[in-house]
Amino acid sequence: MNTTENLALITNAINKLKVDAKSLSVYKEDEALPVVITTARQLTDAEVQSIQEILTAKFGKEIYINKAKVDNSIIGGIVITMKDEVYDASAKRQLEKVDGLMQKIQFANSGLKGTKELTKVLSAGVDKFQTAVDLEEIGIVQKVGDGIATVSGMRGAMSGELVELHDGVMGMVQNLRPDEVGVVLMGGTTEIKEGDTVRRTGYVMEVPVGEELLGRVVDPLGKPIDGRGNFKPDGYRPVESPAPGIAAREPVTVPLQTGLKAIDALVPIGRGQRELIIGDRGTGKTAIAIDTILNQKDTGVICIYVAIGQRLLP
């Protein structure tokens, strides 16, 4: 690819930017805006100068490029970074968006029978896909440990917000501090490293709910991992949602048999009652819970088992 063709492709990518005037308002009117650009191949000085002029015309504000980086993984296009905000007009990002759209459409229409019906729905979704590039707020991973990533930037992140990390790993924002946030990783802890980019999604973390989840095994995001295909949820509920108040709950009047005579005779438990099992490791806490679940067969009681992994000590 020659210089003219490469510049034409980058210019086409820049033309798709939807400039956020609100974001630019934090800079002084007479202040030149410093940006870092990333392209798939090394740019010449003339190309950098041309891109700087194109960006100045696009943003309606003087732009100067203080750094030009090369990253072959973006395939093509350009990534424009301003502090902890980014305009990602790369081919890689567009492909990721298409892939995400296809997965959502396929998940929402998992009940369709036949390849032709699903293909028709997917084709309709792709036809409506918008290639415009919006401003995205990003953060940079500073350190990772015990399933928690400390991320700098993302000043506008919300508590409980779902964020996207490297290779499709997702996380949930927990600790909000002035210059950094703590992100709980939903798997893939070994794939995340210092310097990785984190993107906001703008959505508070939700999980699917409904009767079709009964008997299924899902990950923390509600995606099936039991090899039995997708399911169609009745809806979605936030992960952080308030529990019903005492007055709104029904009285506990029906017993819940654990199947263990010592517990059922000495510590009777009712349906809807909260019960805590305390004990040292290896004393059988999980065994009691599993035995109780097995004892509910054919009783109409719905049992949900939540497995929480623990970091292995060296």
3-90 folds as: 60s Ribosomal Protein L30; Chain: A; (3.30.1330)
Q: Which are the contacts of 303, defined by CB distance < 8 A and separation ≥ 6?
A: 292, 293, 296
Is the pLDDT reported for residue 172 higher than 70?
Answer: yes
pLDDT of amino acid 112: 54
What CA dihedral angle connects 7, 13, 14 and 16, to 10 degrees? 150
β-pairing, 161-164 with 197-204? antiparallel
Q: Which are the contacts of 52, defined by CB distance < 8 A and separation ≥ 6?
A: 63, 64, 65
- Tokens for 93? 């990002």
pLDDT of amino acid 218: 92
The arithmetic mean of pLDDT across residues 8-26, rounded, is 73
pLDDT of amino acid 109: 60
The arithmetic mean of pLDDT across residues 6-34, rounded, is 73
pLDDT of amino acid 245: 84
Please report, rounded to a whole number, the percentage of residues in the chain having pLDDT higher than 70. 81
Structural domain boundaries in the chain: 3-90, 135-204, 207-241, 250-314
User: 3.30.300.30, 3.40.140.10, 3.90.1300.10, 2.40.30.20: which CATH number matches 135-204?
Assistant: 2.40.30.20
The pLDDT tens digits of the residues spanning 59-81 come to 887 888 888 888 888 888 888 88
